[in-house]
Each structure stands twice: as C-alpha cells, then as structure tokens.
Structure 1
Amino acid sequence: MKRLSGRRVVVTGGAEGIGAAIVRVFAAEGATVAILDRCGEEAALLAAEVGGYACVVDLSDVAATREAMEKALGRLGGIDVLVNNAGARRFAPLLEMEAAELGQAFATPAQCMLIAIQAAAWAMIGMRAPAEDCAGKVINVASAGGPASGGQAHYAAAKAAVTALTRVAAHELGPHGITVNCLCPGYLLDRAEVAPRGTRELDTWSVLSPLGRLGAPQDVARAALFLASSDSDYLTGDSLDIAGGMVLR
C-alpha cells in the first residue's frame, strides 16, 4: 500500500524546485495534491502531470492566500497535510540594507505560512474523529544554511522566523492532534544549475559534506514524505536538517 493513499495535500510554492519534487513524490505515494503558486503555467502543467489541482496566487498577498486556501480545501474536500514551501531569497550586504527591506522579506514566507496554517488547522480540527491520534500534519520548509551565510540577512531572518513559528504552532496545535515540523534544506543542486555554476564551484561545496555530494530537491521530498506519513506521528515541533552533514548540531 502506498504511504499517502487517500491523503489530501496542499503544497504552497509547489510549482518548481523543492515544491515540485514534493508534489511528485507525494502523488506517486497516492496523495491528491493542490498546488498554490504564482507561476501559473508551471503549476498547471505539474497539476496535470500528477492528477492534482493548481491555484495561481501571490502568496505575499494575505487576502489572496486565504482565498486560495479555501478554494484548494474545497476542491480536495478537506486536508490531511499542508506543506509550506513558499519563499524567496534575497542578497544584500548587512551594512547596506534598509530597515524596511527586512520587514518586506517576512511577507513571504512567514506571513503566508501563518495564513495557510490557520486555514489548514481549522479544517483539520473540524474533521477530526475523537479516536484519531493524528488529525493532520503541517510541514514548513526553512533552511539549514541561511543563518550561517553572508549577504543573506533577509533570507536568514525570514527562515529563522519559520522555525520559531513551527515550534509555537506545534505547541498550540498538538492538543488537536496536529503535528507541525520543519525541514531545513542545505545547499541543493538542481540539474539546471550545473552548467551556470561550473564544476569547480560545485566541487568546492560538495567536499563540505561528509557524503561528498550536494543535495537535490528529491532528497528534501523524501524527508517530507516521512513527515507526511504515519511514521512521524510522534514527531512534532522539530527541525530536520537535510544538508548531507554540512550542518551538524
């Protein structure tokens, strides 16, 4: 039996990269997936590929995100798993940043994650049967490397907010049978990035991992599958590094 048979899943930021890898792995394991993303064409093509649904939305827009979640839950007939993957990376030297820039970076992902969690949690609580141990699962995607890298103050602060939000949500939603965990990917490589980056740069990063290679979106997707399955029912409030040993705590 497939590990996610019958599960209804929403993936924000699911049209490309890590999000798309999660969508494909979850669908292959029997889940029905709704993709929320601003990249409409990519989301529609992926939804058609996996037999899911696509909703075009600017996830930095609070009202639009709330409306998109409601539509997705309606199409799915409920929700069992929420994957919050939306986010954007910015680069700027710390001493050259404007204070307003830091605040803007929190709109996505932390703000849209909050809206998505609220909508999903209310739905999960409403459909929970008294005998069920786990009413639903929330998986937030943050970062293992952002806080340790230069020139990424926007990104690091926003991702740190995601891990903090994860812990608070786990505490508050746990009594309702909802688990909330966080995935923290390290330096990942998509095949499309190989040529632009060059083999020298890739080799430099690869040696930092005890495994001798960089990660791929599929590595994160497989970890997300564990958190979405019943195998992780007693795991909540945790942050899991997917960094090939580059980040050891």
Structure 2
Amino acid sequence: MTPPLTGKTALVTGGSRGIGRAVARRLAADGARVVFTYRSSKDAADALAGEIGAVAVPCDQADPNTLPAVFEPLQDGLDILVNNAAITLSRPIADLTPEDFDRVLTINTKFPLLAIRAAIPLLPDGGRIINLSTLNTAVPAPGLALYCASKAALEQITAVAARELGPRAITVNTVSPGATDTDMLQATNTPESLARTAALTALQRLGQPTDIAAVVAFLAGPDAAWLTGQNLRATGGLLI
C-alpha cells in the first residue's frame, strides 16, 4: 500500500525535539519529503535528518530575516506547512516587559504568519497548512498571558487563512495539544502537578508527542480534505 503522503513535501518548524520531532518522523513515515527547522539542537537535528532522510535548516524565529533560508530548499514546491516552533514564558503580567512581548509574539505569531505568506505561492491547490496552538487558549493559567495571547492570535490567523485560501482547496487548521510529555512541559511543571493533570484527563495519562503527530498527519492527509478552519483540541479529554 502506498503511504498517503508519497510525493508530498512538508515543512515542519521546530522539528528537532518534542512534538515537532514526532511530527517530522510521522510525516516522513507517511511518505513525505520533510524539511524541518531547528534553533540550537544541531546534533539532534542532524541525527533526525539522517534517520528520516530529511533536510534540517537552522532558524531563529526571533529574527524574521532567517525566513528566506528556511524556504530555500522548497523552491521546487511545498505541499504541507506545519507551524510548530514556539516558546513559552511563565511570568506575571506585573513583571512583563515590552521586550518579553516582542520576543514571544514574534516567535509564536509573527514568524508563523510570515511563513504562511511565504508558503502561499508555493502550495498547490489542495495544499495543507497546520498551526500548533495550545489548550491554554481555552484554559488560561496565571503567568501565561503572552503565551496564551500569541497562540490565540495564531488561531485567528488560521481561521482567516482558511477563508482566504478555501477557493484553492488549501485547508488551514489548528491543532491544540493538551498536556503533552515534552521537555518544555517537564521544565515548567512539577512532577506532582503533572500527575494531577494526568488524573484529570479522561484517558488518564499525559499525551505523547506521537499522539499529536498522528492528528497532524491526519490533517495533512487526503482524508482531511473537508476540514478547514477548525481547531482540533488534542487533549486526551483534559478538556471536554
């Protein structure tokens, strides 16, 4: 049986670790040629590129001037864009600075928007754009004002892009993971809080990066052609 993404090219931002790494692996397993970006994890990026036959491109999303280099390997075409790379910042509003705002909103919102703009002329009719958001836009937590705001803005960009690109049958969707067992989650939560979160989840565990990658792969594939402008909350039932 031919893999569903055979002959397709995918760009995954932030593909060297966590959810992005799982997405890159899954799309490659489904037959896609994968280009992914990384910021500082060069060894991990090189290892993954060798493992799945991908192209790894260094990129710092805090600097939009790095965007052209990301698209350089894609001038012969792009079928799937996955905006995954993001940062979180846990800080009370009273302590936030203008620099904090600029950094988080640039990395999490501005760069993905510019990536969508750059992808539009490369995508064929029927292409796919998938943006990674977070459950925190529906369940905000103290200290996450900028993270929630940046991802909420990306969700609205998704909805508008779905309207604008619909006439070309290009689908644009959001995937909003819940508590997913990544380095980022472990670094910002205590083991006790993670155990409580798992207990509150209908499926009684934390999500795994592969769980999120499966949802992304579905949206990237042929069976999701009638889904656009949607926000799939891949939370294992943490939010019902």
Deviation at 1:155, TM superposition (A): 0.6
Match of 1:188, SS state, is coil
Normalised by the size of structure 2, how large is the TM-score? 0.92
1:38 aligns with 2:30: no
Deviation at 1:98, TM superposition (A): 2.6
Mean CA deviation greater in 162-171 or 192-201: 192-201
Q: Conserved in 2, the CA contact under 8 Å of 1:66 and 1:115? A: no
Deviation at 1:154, TM superposition (A): 1.2
Match of 1:122, SS state, is coil
Deviation at 1:48, TM superposition (A): 1.0
Mean CA deviation greater in 238-247 or 57-66: 57-66
**Percent sequence identity over matched residues?**
35
Match of 1:123, SS state, is coil
Unpaired runs of 5+ residues, structure 2, are none
Deviation at 1:64, TM superposition (A): 1.2
Within 5 A, what are the aligned runs for 1:91-106? Answer: 91-106=90-105
Q: Conserved in 2, the CA contact under 8 Å of 1:12 and 1:83? A: yes
Q: Conserved in 1, the CA contact under 8 Å of 2:62 and 2:103? A: no
**1:221 corresponds to which letter in structure 2?**
A
**1:82 corresponds to which letter in structure 2?**
L
- 1:157/1:54 CA distance change after superposition, 3 Å: same
* Deviation by residue 1:114-140 (Cα, 9 ceiling, x = unmatched): 11111111111xx54xxxxx2x00000
Within 5 A, what are the aligned runs for 1:1-249? Answer: 1-39=2-40, 40-69=42-71, 71-74=72-75, 77-124=76-123, 127-128=124-125, 134=126, 136-146=127-137, 147-190=139-182, 200-248=192-240
* Deviation by residue 1:39-67 (Cα, 9 ceiling, x = unmatched): 33322221111001111111221121133
Deviation at 1:175, TM superposition (A): 1.2
Match of 1:36, SS state, is strand
Deviation at 1:219, TM superposition (A): 0.6
CA RMSD of aligned residues (A): 2.1
Unpaired runs of 5+ residues, structure 1, are 129-133
Deviation at 1:194, TM superposition (A): 7.1
- 1:189/1:175 CA distance change after superposition, 3 Å: same
- 1:12/1:160 CA distance change after superposition, 3 Å: same
Equivalences, count: 237
